[in-house]
């Protein structure tokens, strides 16, 4: 065999190996990821015209398959929940694939999950058309509707309502929203036109991994001070009686830049403060000082314990972006980060998890969205039970922070969240965006997060309104939380 023939054989052998390797990867290693990829609509094209299981809230469908009347495509996916539930159901399109629960619960909704194997075998022997299982959610429809209506049309915002003891999501909404029916249509030209219009609207919750309550990473502002406080108490260097420096402003280390105290409360009345006063009035300089004293590793460790940079467990069934605590900070950046600015980011659900952990004695439960899964023959396939996600802090620290959060509502700047006859724990946040409106007013992300009753938490509420001035923020966050507290506790 001469050299030319030998080289040809080597080249053929290498090409063979590459082809076998690629086939093995596609068929075995990467098959699951490829099937789940939201942009892979091959699997959707195979099942688009089949009857998928419904997604239910209180027994009523918010997504379901109905007979289309067509011989070529017998079933059409419809979304009776429309805009109200679009952020949860996602869309199901033969052009754009799927998102939300339509994507993550696809194997259940099509009946192809392992837990539905016996149902598939039964359908095969009986000659029945494949049917998927129904998925019942933990959502309370009345609270979901209330929360959605409390975000004014034209306002970007999100609200997350949970049971902190179980992790069950009671309501989760955001605006702007969209109608998934417009994308689910079999008219591909109409679906394309609808998608282009939806994508042109800023902040719409089309992809849960990057937008909406589970994915939008926003500056958290002063609600991050709950993390600072837990870190301070956990360090052993601070306790409930500690006296904190509270200057009107402080020079950020290594710079000439001044970090001012929050101007909306009564911080200016004291040059020293205890934790109770600093949280009640949301003063900035005490928490910047604490972070500089403890160092960034201590704050980072506590943030991670509350879920920053961590997953949200396996019961959410939606794409999730964990909070971000920036790395390798200089001292000026650390001081800014301690008040939830610089590059600190958090989704509304991340803040809800922090608050829920405090409400639940330091234990963070897995956020859960699925109440039960029922097979087509109506036997219950699964009923997920509450599970612990992680321990965020000690019961004593959680109890102490709860006491201070109660003061924030009863005598601090979150008084509009107060419910007569009920102890409410809360914390506000105002994260400056560095831009102003036409009146020259600074625009912010305005937050409220809290729970009630403080001594026996039944409900956690997190509200964020984006791009508002300080007056709009005050009117749209704490009062909104109060209405939701009242609605849940009065049920």
For residue 449, is it within any domain?
yes
Which residues are the active-site residues?
222
Total domains present in the chain = 1
Mutual angle of helices 225-235 and 395-410, in 10-degree steps = 140
pLDDT digit string, tens, across residues 359-416: 999 999 999 999 999 998 888 999 999 999 999 999 999 999 999 999 999 999 999 9
User: What number of other Cβ atoms are within 10 A of residue 11's Cβ?
Assistant: 10
In a domain, 318, yes or no: yes
The range of the structural domain enclosing residue 317 comes to 223-370+388-490
Check pLDDT > 90 for residue 210.
no
Residue 336, domain member (yes or no): yes
| pLDDT over 60 at 38, yes or no | no
Q: State the burial class of residue 162 (Cβ atoms within 10 Å of its Cβ: 0-12, 13-18, 19+).
A: buried
pLDDT digits (tens, 9 = 90+) for 97-155: 999 999 999 999 998 877 777 776 766 666 666 678 999 999 999 999 999 999 999 99
In a domain, 417, yes or no: yes
1 or 383, greater pLDDT = 383
CA distance 78 to 80: 6
For the entire predicted model, the pTM comes to 0.89
Mean pLDDT over each residue of the chain, to the nearest integer: 91
Q: Is residue 296 part of a domain?
A: yes
Residue 276 within any structural domain of the chain: yes
User: Is residue 31 pLDDT above 80, yes or no?
Assistant: no
Residue 67 bridge partners (DSSP) = 75
DSSP conformation class of 208: T
Q: Let me know if residue 381 belongs to a domain.
A: no
The answer to whether the bond into 158 is cis (omega within 30° of 0) is no
| Mean pLDDT (whole number) for 265-290 | 94
Q: How far apart are CA 298 and CA 313, in angstroms?
A: 24
pLDDT at 410: 96
- Contact by Cβ (8 Å): 325, 220: no
How many whole angstroms separate alpha carbon 390 and alpha carbon 363?
Answer: 6
- Closest of 485, 463, 384 to residue 137, by C-alpha: 384
Q: How far apart are CA 191 and CA 95, in angstroms?
A: 7
CATH number, domain at 348? 3.40.710.10
Q: 237 or 2: whose pLDDT is higher?
A: 237
Give the tokens for residue 380.
């219950």
164 is a domain residue: no
CB-based burial label for 351 (10 Å; 0-12, 13-18, 19+): buried
Could you give the 3-state DSSP secondary structure of residue 36?
Answer: helix
Neighbouring-strand partners of residue 452: 459
Tokens of 384: 């997920």
């Amino acid at each position: 065999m001469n050299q030319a023939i030998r080289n040809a054989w080597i080249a053929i052998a290498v090409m063979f190996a590459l082809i076998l390797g690629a086939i093995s990867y596609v068929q075995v290693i990467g098959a699951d990821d490829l099937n789940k990829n939201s942009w892979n609509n091959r699997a959707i094209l195979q099942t688009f015209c089949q009857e998928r299981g419904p997604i239910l809230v209180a027994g009523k469908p918010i997504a379901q398959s109905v007979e289309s009347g067509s011989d070529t495509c017998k079933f059409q996916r419809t979304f009776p929940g429309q805009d109200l539930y679009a952020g949860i159901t996602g869309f199901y399109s033969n052009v754009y694939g799927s998102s939300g629960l339509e994507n993550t619960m696809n194997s259940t909704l099509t009946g192809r999950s392992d837990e539905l194997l016996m149902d598939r075998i039964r359908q095969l022997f009986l000659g029945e058309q494949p049917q998927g299982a129904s998925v019942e959610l933990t959502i309370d429809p009345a609270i979901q509707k209330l929360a959605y209506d409390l975000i004014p049309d034209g306002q970007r915002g999100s609200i997350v309502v949970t049971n902190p003891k179980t992790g069950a999501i009671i309501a989760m909404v955001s605006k702007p929203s969209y109608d998934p029916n417009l994308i689910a249509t079999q008219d591909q030209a109409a679906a394309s036109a609808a998608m282009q219009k939806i994508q042109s609207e800023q902040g719409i919750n089309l992809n849960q991994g990057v937008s909406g309550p589970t994915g939008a990473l926003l500056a958290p502002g002063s609600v991050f001070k709950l993390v600072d406080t837990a870190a301070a108490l956990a360090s052993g260097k601070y306790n409930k009686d500690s006296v904190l420096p509270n200057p009107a402003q402080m020079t950020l280390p290594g710079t000439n830049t001044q970090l001012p105290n929050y101007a909306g409360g009564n911080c200016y009345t004291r040059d020293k403060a205890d934790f109770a006063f600093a949280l009640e009035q949301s003063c900035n300089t005490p928490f910047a000082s604490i972070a500089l004293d403890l160092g960034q590793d201590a704050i980072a460790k506590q943030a991670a314990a509350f879920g920053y940079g961590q997953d949200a467990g396996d019961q959410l069934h939606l794409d999730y972006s964990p909070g971000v605590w920036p790395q390798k900070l200089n001292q000026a950046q650390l001081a800014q980060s301690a008040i939830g600015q610089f590059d600190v980011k958090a989704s509304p659900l991340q803040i809800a998890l922090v608050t829920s952990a405090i409400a639940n004695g330091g234990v963070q439960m897995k956020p859960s969205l699925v109440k039960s899964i029922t097979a087509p023959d109506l036997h219950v396939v699964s009923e997920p039970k509450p599970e612990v996600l992680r321990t965020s802090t000690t019961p004593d620290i959680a109890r102490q922070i709860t006491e201070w959060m109660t003061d924030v509502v009863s005598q601090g700047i979150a008084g509009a969240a107060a419910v007569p006859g009920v102890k409410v724990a809360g914390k506000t946040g105002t994260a400056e965006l560095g831009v102003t409106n036409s009146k020259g007013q600074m625009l912010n992300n305005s937050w409220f997060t809290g729970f009630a009753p403080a001594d026996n938490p039944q409900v956690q509420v997190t509200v964020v309104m984006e791009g508002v001035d300080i007056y709009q923020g005050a009117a749209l966050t704490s009062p909104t939380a109060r209405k939701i507290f009242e609605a849940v506790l009065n049920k």
